[in-house]
Amino acid sequence: MPADAAIVGGGPSGLAAAIALRIRGFSVAVYDARRPPIDKPCGEGFLPGTAPALRELGLELGSLPGIPLRGIRFIGGHSSAVAVFPVRQGEGRGVRRTELHAALVARAEDLGVQLNWDHPVSSMEALAERWIVGADGIQSRVRQWAHLGCTEYDSVRFGFQRHLAMAPWSNEVEVHWGALGQAYVTPVGEGEVGLAALTHHHGVRLPEILAELPQLTARLRGAPLTADRGAITARRRLRRVTSGRVALIGDASGSVDAITGEGLSLAFRQATLLATALQANDLEVYEIGHRALARRAQFMGALMLLLDRSPLLARVTLATLQAAPPLFAAMLRLHLGEATSPPSRTAQPAGREASSVRAKQSP
């Protein structure tokens, strides 16, 4: 007998949707063309807001193998500005993508989700389930099949990623701004650091982006690197994310630029929303809620892309943020969905020396 819902794509969003639906009693079958551990270029940095979203799915961000993150540092030209996460939001976390995927797979298995790996879906007609969830990523075919490809806006950039076998030097996500794009560094393990780079320049690769970032290249000198891997990231909003018995989730449903660090957190929140909507047998609940969920991240993404397009504006902004740390803290609070008015005591800059990575790790 067919399950209640078929989920095309067993990446983070597909698994999150499967878990959320199982929790509400739906029977669920997931189909993915690949087999775990499924990896993908990713900054691997999770903002504090990811923790409550994962908790809804029965997972604890702080228990995933990784490194706690306490804030974000922007570095560019002669400027370096830091904002720490507000205390009440808790820590973020740097987690290898494969570790996250393994934890989601284990949770889905525990709940009794049918997991069909090495199982590409080539048409919707092949799926007899009542509901179809397209969780098949940025190039979604389900989106095409359901004629949901119409966009309100769309801006694509190119992303690269590698891992470095070296001890993390900070508990912050460092975003280095250069003439050709941004590189961001996330500690993901005791002896491992993730390096992701983003550019809007077609044909530009990681080495060229790094060549414009002398502080970072000095830091990385001599570190053994894995091969770099590429993927696209897009700031994209669809006109609709549901049609008939089909709903899209994660990157298939539109996306925020990778620099926001919000793609996965959004997908986890969408998963819970989708399950609530299907429980109410009303996809319009998801349609409306989906739009509202992405609004803040889309706004911050647009701001970041503005700086990406103008190196001069980026330099001036970084110098301003360095000179006015409460401003950067307020921006971060806005990004995290907090009211900006009451100045929190965390608005003050934290000296780099104030926290050693080792001292900050979970017991």
Ligand X SMILES: Cc1cc2nc3c(=O)[nH]c(=O)nc-3n(C[C@H](O)[C@H](O)[C@H](O)COP(=O)(O)OP(=O)(O)OC[C@H]3O[C@@H](n4cnc5c(N)ncnc54)[C@H](O)[C@@H]3O)c2cc1C
Q: Which residue, 291 or 315, is less far from ligand X as judged by CB? A: 291
> Could you tell me the CA-to-CA distances from 293 to 34, 113, 136, 250, 298 in Å, in that order?
29, 26, 20, 12, 9
What's the token pair of residue 260? 């926001």
Strand partners, 255: 236
Residue span binding ligand X (CB under 6 A) among the ranges 35-43, 69-77, 299-307, 326-334: 35-43
> How many chain residues bind ligand X (CB under 6 A)?
40
Give yes or no for residue 134 binding ligand X (CB under 6 A): no
Give yes or no for residue 51 binding ligand X (CB under 6 A): no
Considering only CA atoms, which of 6, 239, 229 is closest in space to residue 128? Answer: 6
> Could you tell me the CA-to-CA distances from 210 to 51, 175, 270 in Å, in that order?
31, 12, 34
Considering only CA atoms, which of 21, 53, 42 is closest in space to residue 247? Answer: 21
Give yes or no for residue 199 binding ligand X (CB under 6 A): no
Among 7, 67, 72, 196, indicate the residue that binds ligand X (CB under 6 A).
196
Give yes or no for residue 10 binding ligand X (CB under 6 A): yes
Please say whether the dihedral angle defined by the alpha carbons of residues 318, 321, 327 and 333, taken in this order, is positive or negative: positive
| Position 237, amino acid | R
Q: Which residue, 77 or 289, is less far from ligand X as judged by CB? A: 289
Residue span binding ligand X (CB under 6 A) among the ranges 42-50, 105-113, 147-155, 286-294: 42-50
Among 75, 104, 121, 216, indicate the residue that binds ligand X (CB under 6 A).
121
Residue span binding ligand X (CB under 6 A) among the ranges 246-254, 280-288, 294-302, 332-340: 246-254
Give yes or no for residue 204 binding ligand X (CB under 6 A): no
d(CA 337, CA 83): 15
Give yes or no for residue 83 binding ligand X (CB under 6 A): no
Q: Which residue, 267 or 278, is less far from ligand X as judged by CB? A: 267
Residues 6+ apart with CB under 8 A from 1: none
CB atoms within 10 A of CB 305: 18
Q: What are the respective helix, strand and coil percentages of the chain, to the nearest 5?
A: 40, 25, 35
Give yes or no for residue 272 binding ligand X (CB under 6 A): no
What's the token pair of residue 203? 């044909």
Whether residue 136 contacts residue 6, with contact meaning beta carbons closer than 8 Å, is answered with no
CB of 61 to ligand X, least distance (A): 12
- CB neighbour burial string for 248-273, b if at least 16 within 10 angstroms, e if fewer: bbbbbbbbbbbbbbbbbbbbbbbbbb
Residue span binding ligand X (CB under 6 A) among the ranges 218-226, 248-256, 282-290, 335-343: 248-256
Residue 17 exposed, middle or buried by CB count within 10 Å (0-12, 13-18, 19+): buried
Q: Which residue, 31 or 177, is less far from ligand X as judged by CB? A: 31
Q: Which residue, 14 or 71, is less far from ligand X as judged by CB? A: 14
Among 19, 28, 95, 258, indicate the residue that binds ligand X (CB under 6 A).
258
CB of 33 to ligand X, least distance (A): 4
Give yes or no for residue 8 binding ligand X (CB under 6 A): yes
Q: Which residue, 13 or 322, is less far from ligand X as judged by CB? A: 13
Q: Which residue, 259 or 347, is less far from ligand X as judged by CB? A: 259
Q: Which residue, 76 or 137, is less far from ligand X as judged by CB? A: 137
Give yes or no for residue 67 binding ligand X (CB under 6 A): no
Considering only CA atoms, which of 57, 61, 59 is closest in space to residue 22? Answer: 57
Contact residues for ligand X, defined by CB under 6 A: 8-14, 31-34, 38, 40-45, 120-121, 135-137, 141, 159, 161, 196, 231, 233, 250-252, 255, 258, 261-265, 267
